[in-house]
Structure 1
Amino acid sequence: MADHDSEEQTAALLAPSPEFLARIAVFPLFHPIQKDVIKTIDSALTWDQLTASDINFSIVRPIVLKYAKLKNMAVVYACLVNRAYFLKESEEDLAYAGVMLSRATLCEILAMKLLSHFASNHITLVAVLTTSWSPLAGATPEVVQEVKQVLGSNANVNDPQSALEMAISTEAKRFISSPVSQSVVNDIYSGRIVFSTATTRSMLADNYKPKAITLYDSRDAPFLDHYRLRVPRYGAILEFLNFACLLVTFVLCLSNQDHAKLTFWEVVFIVFAAAFTLEEYTAATEHGWIIYIANMWNVFDTSFVLVFLCYVGLRIKGLSYGDLEASNLAFDLLSCGACILFPRLAFFAVSNNVVVLSLREMIRQFVYFILLAAICFSGLLFTLWKLGGGHWTFKKIAWLMVQIWFGNTYLSFAQAESFHPVFGPILMTTFAALSNTLLLTILISILSNTVARIDANATQEHLFQFAISTIEGVKADALFSYQPPFNLLALAVLKPTSYIVTPRTLHSLNVLLIKITSFPILIVIGIYERYFATGQSLRESSRDAAHNFFNSLPRHIKNMPLVEALVGSASSDLYDAIFEIDAMGPALFDDSDEEEDFPRLRSVASHDTITSAERVRRRPSHVSLPGRSPLRPERSPHGSPRLRPLSGVIGLDLGVSSAEVSSGGRSPLAKFFSHVDPPSPSPGHTEASLRRVEALLEDLRDLPVHRLKDEMRELQERQARIEQLLLTLTRGMRSSDTGSKHT
């Protein structure tokens, strides 16, 4: 039995092989899901309506069970691909945008529910979400050829993508924030799940030894494991350190600038900034621009890259032609990059905070509103320029309007007549009223609503950004294993070598170069994971020692507020220990008492009812409960009396069966149909039985059966007389109508 359990446990830990995943048919899933969703949803419905209990059981659940029977690991990915299709249709067909959005929402719900069917095996669940599925896997050659004709001859039809990446690109935030998805994202982020992805868009691809999905164990892994550099948790720490180095060199470069020549710190900064630019470009190429730009911090990084590239261009021009103005402008432009670098480093610790998420959306809304206002007031700018004649230039009028927009309304009244004695005051007063009173009030309202909306969905947005950063951390490109500026060296050495050597030689050279350039980092990671990580021996022993030391302290020291706040209250540990042990004390209630006190609904044909009936047959039949009868009359809704059996007959188990209840004045029918003990072998048993039957028959004769028959006969006669009377009246009415017509 133990061997069998160990085999099952080992099988549960085995991940699907790459060969098995490559044989899974993906393409045949797309169109059936699309047809079922179109057939199901034909009106605009919200998320709450689609997740209501009635729609869930009547519509969603049958579709989920239908596709869950296939046990196809790519079905979640197929649902998200259909979501992308319906989202695109909602943008193109505005008349049915609401319906298309509802269908896209239904695809997300189907993906969430189908994902839960794979949650029993964690490795399989990881494979469902992280495997890069090829959309045309399982398609016939004719279908592949048709797709190529639609896309064009030079199109790449082999563009694999994982379910998590598809969820990010379609902004399926509820799917990503679900507990099942987050369990996988957390394991990937912490490095508990190890896998490698193969991609065709890498700058430096090293796919010689793809790593299958496994649970990481530091005891089995090599001490200098270069794959740990791709763990998102360690990658975030290293990214923070690299960004700090970039910021330091940035400050030193501006502090020691020389317009005529390159200084030492300027060269160091250019090297670090070029390595940072290469890293950002590689990340955008690896996962695609949509996923890359979905991370709000990548917008800041891209802005700094643009500033750096403009600085390099102006600096090259200034040094090549001796243009000091170009060099001066280059340093001035580079100084503006401090507005990006300093907040970027400060927000590393609170990257997914609600305030930061709200700030991102507020900036987007603010920029959109300002651009819209600038377009609207461009007509007023042109009018003032024409009215001002030669006194006011275009640049001065624009700067004046900016000052008035941001609250300096005094200038609007002071300079109004300089444009025109009549139209100038009217136009400037109107502009001041619109900009400072109306539009700023609208802008504040928009930003307030944005903050409230982000705050309401803060958890989903936080988990969505966390999933993006995690997926970006798992990169297949070999350049991500090098820390800047060593990625420049790797690109310069390994990229030309990849065209010459075999994949095995390239892999060996890549591993050797990674271990040389990242040797101190690998040493620190190896020591931490073997001795200081959660669950390791040194950490557990130190925790036990601290716990024993705390228990050895006097009681008055333990109860000090500061010590209790630092260590924690021991009452929670006591409560946990109470529920972890089995209760060995005396029972407060007997099982029979519990059965009698708590009624339960049971089916008549259930096993419990049959068992209770057998138990009744084995018990004595002479149990008397005064004041209760097994059958009692009850008024029906129509007013006629009927006999209603007690709870033991209809299945409401009150602890006492109706077969056990016996009152002193039972009716003859109850006596006749009640349980009769089996005959005893005594000589006078037959005569006693006959006398009992005769007595029961006498009681039956006393029943008002004949009286009931007479009443029924009398009712039938009355009904016949009434029908005869109605027939006579009907004939009389017909004869009178006929006579009136003849007259």
Structure 2
Amino acid sequence: MDHEDQTAPLLAPSPEFLATVSVFPLIPAIKKDVVVTIDSALTFDQLRASDINFAIVRPLVLKYAKLKNMSVVYACLVNRAYFLEESEDDLAYAGIMLSRATLCEILAMKLLSHFASNHITLVAVLTTSWSPLAGASPEVIEQVKQVLGTNANVNDAQSALEMAISTHAKEFISSPISQKVITDIYTGRIVFSTATTRSMLADNYKPKAITIYDCREAPFLDHYRLRVPKYGAILEFLNFACLLFTFVLCLSNQDLEKLTFWEVVFILFATAFALEEYTASTEHGWIIYIANMWNVFDTSFVLVFLCFIGMRIKGLAYGDLAASDLAFDLLACGACILFPRLAFFAVSNNVIVLSLRAMIAEFVFFMAMAAICFSGLLFTLWTLGKASWTLKRIAWLMVQIWFGNTYLSFAQAESFHPFFGPILMTTFAALSNTLLLTILISILSNTVARIDANATQEHLFQFAISTIEGVKADALFSYQPPFNLLALALLKPASWIVSPRTLHSLNVFLIKITSFPILIAIGVYERYFADGQILRESSRDAAHTIFNSLPRQIKNIPLLEALVGSTSSDLYEAIFEIDVAPGADLFDESDEEFPQLRSVASRDTMTSTPADVRRRPSRVSLAARSPHRGERSPLRPLSGLDVGVSSAEVSTAGRSPLSKFFAHVDPPPGSGNIEASVRRVETMLDEMRELPVHRLKDEMRELQVFASPFSLLTIAHDSDCS
């Protein structure tokens, strides 16, 4: 049975439904709300503060969450890309634009959580390729075409994860919800297909809905498992090792006059590797491709290989041995890229490796700025000493001085000019060795410190890039080099002639023939050796059974315990798995009182006990004292609610006067009427108003009222006189 013919789960959104989702109306609406809301520069932490969250972020999230539009996360990230571009164009409002871009990222994070209840829907929100003009009117589409040009592609769709990578939304990518989806995609637990229009060999026959992979229902030779990023990374390592092996053998068996066997094999593998890298850059775009730091190494080696091929063809065609020798010398420089690239597979999560790309970028930028700054000095020295110095020798001399050979600046200074030469060379040596190198070291140190502080976030960002790159719709990625060259030569011309169904059948047949051992290994691993499979669980149980049957002296050997595992964790798990009998409760339920909101019971219901500590009804539990149906409530009505947290009060005997003053004292029986007491208090307040102090306040108030217009007249008279 073909894997495409399997029925998808009912909860998975169908491709037809996803095609009807309106995307364009959300983009200007979100832009308008963000522009109106944010009008000052705020950092990410300030936007995540509680006051701004409840006043600004939460209302916007609830507003767009009510729409239940699955493309709302993508629309937020599109607006983030717009505000980031605006921050680069208008430096005067760069801070405000960056704050708006950050708000769009926060909105995307919070709106994503509203889809987390359904895991398949959550995957669809992040992985579906949305078209930004979906749901737009024909007039809007025509206006967009006029802005971009007649030959522009207005149907360039991208997913929310791809937009997050291209906009460097690292907080969004490193969030637990996003990482859950990315991890499931990486391990192959989530299966989906994407239709692409930029593939070199597209096989979009029967696009499948998003499903959760189950090896028991899938076919044993499932060619789609070759596109799982987890297996793709392993196969990439093996292919790179084969490329390095043929590279070493090619350089070890050089023949300037003809092609050797190992040179042909290396050219075959290197061409397949170049095709794979070109297809990867075309699949997701150059921005996402170059965001992975390993692709920088791969692209550099492809450029070295292309230069080697050009020089080698020239040497063989014209019999130019010098060109062939230069070609092999140039190819030997590629070892500086291949050997570290293979080694970095094992330490890809190291902080130094993560910061290497940023350090290289900072170093290249700084060196380019220094070269531009010292180009004037180079021209000056060439003008002064062109009688005995060439431009190449002067440039090499300046490079030596720049990297620490300061003695040459003093030894060769007078050869340029007896007066200006020492001044210029001394100034250059001071700037290069004292000032600029110190600045360079400081920049690189700050870069490492910044990456080290956000090492986890940077690692998750690179992990997301490698995962998205591993999910490729191009059919060529299902072939291992050099079989991708064979697939391109056979299937690309066939795609112009045969139907999509026939092309799909040929593609599946060719994949299974060329990757037969790999598919068998993947099928056996997923059914018997992967996490949760029967063989692995039974082997683990058998190992623990044998370990538990050993004598105590053997089980306590540290090395054996470290290999098998401690039994303490099993004991803890067993404690929480058993059911505790109700009689084993340590506390009486009648003694437990939890803080609740309730009115104070009347004093008629309180019972006095001949003890220093007397039990009183809790002031914060209404449910515990609620009357039964038909009974009269013992609670007296109050104008407000009295809230307390204690269910016991200590008698006032022997307490301090201050505690007695704040303690609740019930009025004695037979006391006078409360209304009479209130009237007496009012009479006392009236008598206090007649005191001289109050009369003095009234007189001062009258003087202020009388003096205000008089002072205004005086000021006006003075101004007229002046």
With the shorter chain as reference, the TM-score category is: 0.7 to 0.9
The one of 286, 308, 313 aligned to 2:310: 313
Give the counterpart of 2:28 among 26, 31, 34: 31
Q: Structure 2 CA distance, aligned partners of 1:387 and 1:253?
A: 48
> Using the alignment, how far apart are the partners of 1:250 and 1:123 within structure 2?
45
Structure 1 residues 574, 422: closer, same or farther in 2, change over 3 A? same
Give 1:590's aligned amino acid.
D
Deviation at 1:276, TM superposition (A): 0.6
Q: Structure 1 length as normaliser, TM-score?
A: 0.84
Write the distance in 1 (CA, Å) between the matches of 2:325 and 2:688: 117
SS at match of 1:221: coil
Give, in whole Å, the separation in 2 of the partners of 1:57 and 1:167.
25
In the aligned structure 2, how far is the partner of 1:136 from the partner of 1:430?
Answer: 59
Shift of 1:573: 3.1
- Alpha-carbon distance in 1 for matches of 2:260, 2:12: 54
Letter in 1 for 2:291: A
Kindly indicate whether the alpha-carbon contact (under 8 Å) linking 1:362 and 1:450 is maintained by their aligned counterparts in 2: yes
The offset of 1:657, in angstroms, is 11
Match of 2:477 in 1: 480
CA distance in 2, matches of 1:347, 1:665: 78
User: CA 1:713/1:244 → structure 2, altered by over 3 Å: closer, same or farther?
Assistant: closer
Deviations 1:669-698 (A, max 9, x none): xx5xxxxxxxxxxxxxxxxxxxxxxxx6x9
Aligned letter for 1:345?
L
2:301 aligned partner, one-letter code: F
Distance between the aligned counterparts of 2:99 and 2:78, measured in 1? 15
Offset of residue 560 of structure 1: 2.2
Residues 1:208 and 2:205 aligned together = yes
Match of 1:360 among 352, 357, 360: 357
The amino acid that maps onto 1:22 is A
2:243 aligns with: 246
Q: How does 1:531-546 map to 2 (within 5 A)?
A: 531-546=528-543
Give the aligned partner of residue 689 of structure 1.
none
CA distance in 2, matches of 1:78, 1:623: 68
Cα distance between partner residues in 1 of 2:358 and 2:664 = 82
Shift of 1:374: 1.4
Offset at residue 667 of structure 1 (A): 3.3
- Partner Cα distance (1:481, 1:56) in 2: 46
Change in 2 beyond 3 A, CA 1:653/1:320: same
- 65, 88, 93: which one pairs with 1:91? 88
SS at match of 1:242: helix
Number of residues of Structure 1 aligned to a counterpart in Structure 2: 665
Q: Residues 258 and 576 of structure 1: is their aligned pair in 2 closer, same or farther, counting only changes over 3 Å?
A: same
Q: 1:538 to 1:725 in 2, by over 3 A?
A: closer
Query: Equivalent residue for 2:559?
Result: 562
Aligned to 2:647: 655
Q: Secondary structure at the match of 1:117?
A: helix
Q: Is the 8 Å Cα contact of residues 480 and 515 (structure 2) preserved in structure 1?
A: yes
**Inter-partner Cα distance in structure 2 for 1:713 and 1:409:** 96
Q: Tell me, in whole angstroms, the C-alpha distance in 2 between the residues paired with 1:708 and 1:310.
A: 103
Q: Distance between the aligned counterparts of 1:18 and 1:706, measured in 2?
A: 80
Q: Cα deviation per residue 1:171-196 (whole Å; 9 max; x = unaligned)?
A: 10110011100000000000000111
46, 65, 72: which one aligns with 1:49: 46
Q: Which residue of 2 aligns with 1:443?
A: 440
Corresponding residue to 1:351 among 335, 348, 352: 348
- CA distance in structure 1 between the partners assigned to 2:370 and 2:10 by the alignment: 59
Report the AA paired with residue 587 of structure 1.
D
Secondary structure of the residue aligned to 2:592 is helix
**Offset at residue 580 of structure 1 (A):** 4.0
In structure 2, the CA distance between the partners of 1:711 and 1:620, relative to structure 1 (3 Å rule), is closer
Separation in structure 2 between the aligned mates of residue 314 and residue 334 of structure 1, nearest angstrom: 10
TM-score of the superposition, structure 2-length normalised? Answer: 0.86
Give the superposition deviation at 1:567.
2.9
Instruction: Give the deviation of 1:369 after TM superposition.
Output: 1.2
CA–CA separation in structure 1 for the residues paired with 2:94 and 2:39: 11
Shift of the 621–148 alpha-carbon distance from structure 1 to 2, 3 Å rule, reads: same
Equivalent residue letter for 1:651: V
Matches within 5 A, 1:634-645: none
Percent identity for Structure 1 against Structure 2: 77
Checking the alignment, whether the CA contact within 8 Å between 2:8 and 2:210 is kept in structure 1 is no
1:394 positional shift: 1.4
Q: Determine the C-alpha separation between the residues in 1 that align with 2:220 and 2:35.
A: 54
Shift of the alpha carbon at 1:708?
5.5
Provide the residue aligned with 1:492 in structure 2: 489
Instruction: Output the amino acid matched with 1:456.
Output: A
Question: 2:515 corresponds to which residue?
Answer: 518
- 8 Å Cα contact 1:74-1:128 kept in structure 2: yes
- The 5-angstrom pairing of residues 565-580 of structure 1 reads 565-580=562-577
- Residue in 1 aligned with 2:667? 667
Structure 2 match to 1:681:
none
Equivalent AA in structure 2 for residue 227 of structure 1: Y
Letter in 2 for 1:20: F
Aligned to 1:590: 588
Q: Does 1:107 align with 2:95?
A: no
Instruction: Tell me, in whole angstroms, the C-alpha distance in 2 between the residues paired with 1:709 and 1:377.
Output: 91
Shift of 1:389: 3.2
Partner SS state of residue 584, structure 2: coil
Does the aligned pair in 1 maintain the 2:173–2:460 contact within 8 Å?
A: yes
Instruction: Give the equivalent residue in structure 2 for 1:740.
Output: none
Q: Does the Cα contact within 8 Å between 2:8 and 2:211 map onto a contact in 1?
A: no
Structure 2: 5+ residue runs without aligned partners?
1-6, 617-636, 651-662, 711-722
Q: 2: distance between equivalents of 1:118 and 1:91?
A: 33
* Amino acid corresponding to residue 655 of structure 1 in structure 2: S
Report if aligned partners of 1:400, 1:411 keep a CA contact under 8 Å in 2: yes
| CA deviation map 1:324-352 (0-9, x unaligned) | 11111111111111111111111112223
Q: Distance in 1 between matches of 2:25 and 2:113?
A: 22
Contact 2:615 2:647 in 1 (8 A): no
After TM superposition, give the deviation of residue 270 of structure 1 in Å: 0.8
After superposition, what is the alpha-carbon deviation per residue over 1:131-161, rounded to whole angstroms, capped at 9, x for unaligned? 0111111112222122112211211111110
* Superposed displacement of residue 417, structure 1: 2.2
User: 1:443 Cα deviation (Å)?
Assistant: 1.0
Whichever residue aligns with residue 289 of structure 1, its letter is W
Query: Could you say what the CA RMSD is over the residues aligned between the two structures, in angstroms?
Result: 3.2
Q: Return the offset for 1:412.
A: 1.8
Matches of 1:496 and 1:211, distance apart in 2: 25
- Name the CA distance, whole Å, in 2 between partners of 1:188 and 1:724: 79
What does the per-residue CA deviation read over 1:416-443, in whole Å, with 9 as the maximum and x for residues that have no partner?
2222222222222222222112211111
Change (3 A) 1:717 1:345: closer
Q: Residue 468 of structure 1 corresponds to which residue in structure 2? A: 465
Residue 379 (str. 1) matches residue 376 (str. 2): yes
Aligned amino acid, residue 654 of structure 1: S
Query: 1:682-732, CA deviations, whole angstroms, 9 ceiling, x for partnerless residues?
Result: xxxxxxxxxxxxxx6x964997678667656756777999599969x99xx
Q: d(CA) in 2 for partners of 1:579 and 1:545?
A: 23
What's 1:401 paired with? 398
SS of the residue corresponding to residue 67 of structure 1 reads: helix
Which residue, out of 48, 65, 69, partners 2:66? 69
Amino acid at match of 2:296: V
Greater CA drift, 299-308 or 397-406: 397-406
Three-state SS of the structure 2 residue aligned to 1:376 is helix
Q: Does 1:154 align with 2:157?
A: no
Candidates 202, 214, 218, aligned match of 1:217: 214
Gaps of 5+ in 1: 1-9, 631-644, 672-695, 738-743
Counterparts of residues 274-285 of structure 1 (less than 5 Å): 274-285=271-282
Q: Which one has a bigger Cα radius of gyration?
A: 1
Deviations, residues 202-254 of structure 1 (Å, cap 9, x unaligned): 10010012121100000000000000000000000000111111111111111
Q: 2:63 and 2:646 mapped to 1: Cα distance?
A: 41
Q: 1:432 to 1:525 in 2, by over 3 A?
A: same
The 3-state SS of whatever aligns with 2:195 is coil
Deviations 1:587-633 (A, max 9, x none): 222233331xx6x352x5xxxx5xx96xx99x965445788999xxx
C-alpha distance in structure 2 between counterparts of 1:45 and 1:705, whole Å: 55
In structure 1, distance between residues paired with 2:497 and 2:104: 47
Q: Distance in 1 between matches of 2:358 and 2:520?
A: 41
8 Å contact from structure 1 (residues 626, 664) kept in 2: no
Q: Tell me which of 173, 177, 193 is aligned to 2:174.
A: 177
Distance 1:522 1:563 in 2: 36
Q: 1:448 to 1:720 in 2, by over 3 A?
A: closer
Q: Deviations over 1:238-280 (max 9, x none)?
A: 0011111111111111111111111111111111111111101
